[in-house]
Chains A and B, each alone.
Chain A
Amino acid sequence: MTFEPPFLYPDYRSTLLRAPARPLMRLPDEWFEASAGPAFGRIPVGPDDADLTRQHAGQPLGERIIVTGRVLDSEGRPVRGTLVEVWQCNAAGRYVDPADQHPAPLDPNFTGAGRCLTDDRGCYRFTSVKPGAYPWRNHHNAWRPAHIHFSVFGPTLASRLVTQMYFPGDPLLAHDPILASIPDPRGRERLVAAFDPAVTEPEWALGYSWDIVLRGRQATPREA
């Protein structure tokens, strides 16, 4: 079972000249199983990197949020100690990235990039502010729904994942060609986090839960 989007999805215009036209070559599994999985040990992860609201002198504007969940392998086992990277625009819908020219204000107290390693239960957890929607030039009056970009490594080359997490109840979800590129509605639902009262912290931050399932298996743990 796969929910993957196709490479060519004309409603998302940037795919037209970038989608491979030739079929991907399938190799016997073991030719890749023998490959070392992605190594990420060089990417620095500081203890404060998971809190995007504490990277500057002041607090960023916006709704404070906590986003947390588990990273699992294809057999439902926790993927421990793997790198999760996130990046997002600020509450006004503007990225720090100089390539972003949307005339919404930058927030001097928000960069929008974070990293953490999953814990022994495969959990990640970030504190941030809710990103805003923003316009893009894919089609007339196109707006991206609020989203947080996620990059996860996992145990093997096949498990490497870059995706986007969306917020429940966003009316823009039904109008976004990037999300719509996933043909199966169950696949699209997999990218929408759940509002979670148990994660929400009183007088502090709204909580969202979102689990990530990676392709591939971890090395089988040794049985006693």
Chain B
Amino acid sequence: MSNAPTPSQTVGPFFGFALPFADGENAAAIGVRVEGQLLDGAGEPVPDGLIEVAQNGEFARSGTDAEGAYHFVIGKPAPKPGQAPHLEVTVFARGLLRRLTTRMYFPEEVAANAADPVLELAGDRRDTLIARADNGVLRFDIRLQGGDETVFFELERLR
């Protein structure tokens, strides 16, 4: 019982002076540039969100701006055994009592994505997990709620 994890609380609206750090969006000098918007259930931008992304020791953190926009540059990960290349993406925001975890897959990995078990499980929502190529950057929007809600993963029961 005493080992039950400390419960989560929202990051709140006032982290912008504390959590972003210099050049935090750029995890790698050479990598893929990802741009996206964090959107709420009404399709409105979430201007007080924080996105973290990690792969193979690289880490980027990006706050969202007034348009809900974030961006980062990070190395493209290698495929993992049995899984297509992907980034682990963590989302914090005012109004999120717990952090959310999703994945970003790469649009050019058509064959690997077709065989990926997570995308398979996502079924007709799989496209919410795959970025799209857009003039040299990858677009990856995150929709917290609604008809095209992004697939998020349950980590709370992991040991």
Task: Report which A residues bind B (CB closer than 8 A).
Answer: 1-7, 9, 12, 14-27, 29, 31-44, 72, 74-76, 85-87, 89, 95-100, 111-113, 149, 151, 156-158, 160-164, 178-179, 181-182, 186-188, 190-191, 211-217
- With A85-B18, A215-B155 in contact, is A157–B7 under 8 Å at CB? no
- Give the chain B neighbours of A188 by CB distance below 8 A: 7
Least Cβ–Cβ distance between B21 and chain A, in angstroms: 5
Taking A4-B7, A17-B41, A41-B59 as given, write out 12 further A-B residue pairs in contact, using a Cβ cutoff of 8 Å, ordered by the A residue number: A7-B97, A18-B41, A25-B151, A26-B153, A38-B90, A41-B57, A43-B21, A75-B3, A97-B15, A99-B48, A187-B4, A217-B159
Interface contact B4-A213, CB-CB below 8 Å: yes
Q: What's the Cα separation between A223 and B155 when bound, in Å?
A: 29
A210 to chain B, nearest CB (A): 9
Chain B, residue nearest A114 (CB)? B18
Q: How large is the interface on B (under 10, 10 to 19, 20 to 34, 35 or more residues)?
A: 35 or more
Question: Do A17 and B44 form a contact, CB below 8 Å, given A5-B97, A157-B155?
Answer: yes
Q: Are B6 and A190 in contact (CB under 8 A)?
A: yes
Chain A residue contacts of B80, Cβ below 8 A:
34-35
Q: Does B133 contact A (CB under 8 A)?
A: no
Question: Which B residues fall within an 8 A CB radius of A?
Answer: 1-19, 21-22, 24, 27, 40-42, 44, 46, 48, 52, 54-59, 61, 80-81, 83, 88, 90, 92-101, 117-118, 121-122, 125, 144-146, 149-159
23 A–B contact pairs at CB < 8 A?
A5-B9, A5-B97, A7-B98, A12-B97, A17-B145, A18-B46, A20-B144, A21-B145, A36-B55, A36-B56, A41-B59, A74-B5, A74-B159, A98-B16, A112-B18, A113-B18, A149-B12, A157-B155, A158-B155, A158-B156, A161-B99, A163-B7, A187-B7
Instruction: Point out the residues of chain B lying under 8 angstroms from A12, CB to CB.
Output: 10, 95, 97
**Can you name the residue of chain A whose Cβ is closest to the Cβ of B101?**
A157
Question: Mostly helix, strand, loop or mixed at chain A's interface?
Answer: loop
Contact present for B7 and A31 (CB under 8 Å): no
- The answer to whether B95 touches A216 (Cβ under 8 A) is no
Query: What residues of chain A lie closer than 8 Å to B6, measured between beta carbons?
Result: 3, 161, 163, 190-191, 211-214
Chain A residue with minimal CB distance to B53?
Answer: A38
Contact of B118 with A31 in the complex, beta carbons under 8 Å: yes
Query: Which A residues are in CB contact (< 8 Å) with B41?
Result: 16-18, 21
Please determine whether B24 and A42 come into contact, CB atoms closer than 8 angstroms.
yes
Q: Given the complex, which residues of A lie within 8 Å of B155, measured CB to CB?
A: 32, 157-158, 215
Q: How far is the CA of A5 from the CA of B97 in the complex (A)?
A: 6
- Residues in B with CB closer than 8 Å to A36 are 54-57, 88
B42 and A17 contacting across the interface, CB-CB below 8 Å: yes
Report Cα–Cα, A76/B3, bound state, in Å. Answer: 6
Q: A17-B145, A74-B3, A163-B6 are in contact. Are A29 and B159 (CB under 8 A)?
A: yes
Most A CB atoms within 10 A — which of B7, B13, B55, B117? B7
Measured in the bound complex, the distance between the Cα atoms of B14 and A215 in whole Å is 25
| Partner of B13 from A99, A163, A182 at Cβ < 8 Å | A99
**Separation of A105 and B136 alpha carbons in the complex (Å):** 46
In the bound complex, residues from chain A placing their C-beta under 8 Å from that of B149 are 20-22
